Amino acid sequence: MVRLKAPPKSKPFRFTSISGRRRIAKNIRSKTIPRQCGSVTFNPSEWPTNRPKGWNGPKTWKPSLDTLLTTTEGMCLLCGDETPKPNSCKCSLEAFRAKEAQWEKLFELKEVEGMGVGVFAKKRIGPRTVIGEYTGVLNPPGHLYDTSEVGYHVQVPLGPSISSKPCGSIDATHEGSFARFVNHSCNAKARFVTGRVGRTRVTAIMMKGNRAVKVGEQLTVDYGPWYFQGGQYCYCGYWRCRHLDPDARST
């Protein structure tokens, strides 16, 4: 058996607090420190030995990043190619991720009153710009998340088809990209997309077709209704906010 040495801990995220200090970002409830991670990772021991219901990938069930996320469906988030299979582009995931590793040229993290840490633009971000990949640990369908922590995870279809059920999830609680800090708004300028780069499925945040973010403005995304099912409320401030705290409304 090969024993692997624990890899060196990667960088934490730093943000500017309301009082203007540089601080290390921590998870809101557990106070653990999330680390920067430039790719989706995978722990085979977390995956079931039987294939999940609805699996439409290779017949022999051998979970790996390759078998779970290889696809030719969807739009390439690097070149914009939408050619139907099997002639999809051959873009490099490494090239895409190298670009995202430079995220601090375009964005910064700042504390927002009542919202925790958010992502702010340092340059104007135009419509349909791919903001960044949502990275973290790829968890199997039905993975139970600790509900005492705020939900840093997004769903991702598994197998070659983009409309595939089952879905796994990418967990950015302990490691992820800066995309994990993008706050919800009921009037969001960006959205989550399931695309690909070359032949690898990539979940990312992308600007909507008719929206831009100005210098100094916060970037927001719509988390979807499921996020608010556990009795959480939204403080986005939009006049048509869909998840208002009923107590806050009356005061």
Residues that bind Zn ion (CB under 5 A): 76, 78-79, 81, 89, 91, 186, 234, 236, 241
**Cβ nearer to Zn ion, comparing 61 with 227:** 227
Q: Which is nearer to Zn ion, 68 or 221 (CB)?
A: 221
Nearest distance from residue 186's CB to Zn ion, in Å? 3
User: Exposure of 65 by Cβ count < 10 A (0-12 exposed, 13-18 middle, 19+ buried)?
Assistant: middle
> Between 106 and 236, whose beta carbon lies closer to Zn ion?
236
Nearer to Zn ion, 169 or 185 (CB): 185
Q: How far is the CB of 238 from Zn ion (least distance, A)?
A: 5
> Distance between CA 249 and CA 251 in Å, rounded?
6
Nearest residue to 131 via CA among 203, 186, 41, 238: 203
| Shortest distance in whole angstroms from residue 181 CB to Zn ion | 17
Both structure tokens of 24: 């290390």
CA distances from 219 to 148, 186, 215, 236 (A): 26, 12, 10, 12
Reading the block at residue 86, the tokens are: 């099997």
Residue 240 Cβ vs Zn ion, minimum distance, rounded to whole Å: 8
Nearer to Zn ion, 72 or 169 (CB): 72
* Min dist. Cβ of residue 115 to Zn ion (A): 11
192 to 4, 110, 241: CA distances (angstroms): 35, 21, 19
Closest by CA to 150, choosing from 72, 213, 228, 89, is 228
Q: What is the rounded CA–CA span in Å between residue 217 and residue 118?
A: 10
Would you say 150 or 167 has its CB closer to Zn ion? 150
Q: How far is the CB of 21 from Zn ion (least distance, A)?
A: 28
Q: Which residues pair with 248 in a beta bridge?
A: none
**What amino acid is encoded at 123 in this protein?**
K
Enumerate the β-bridge partners of residue 204.
Answer: 133, 193
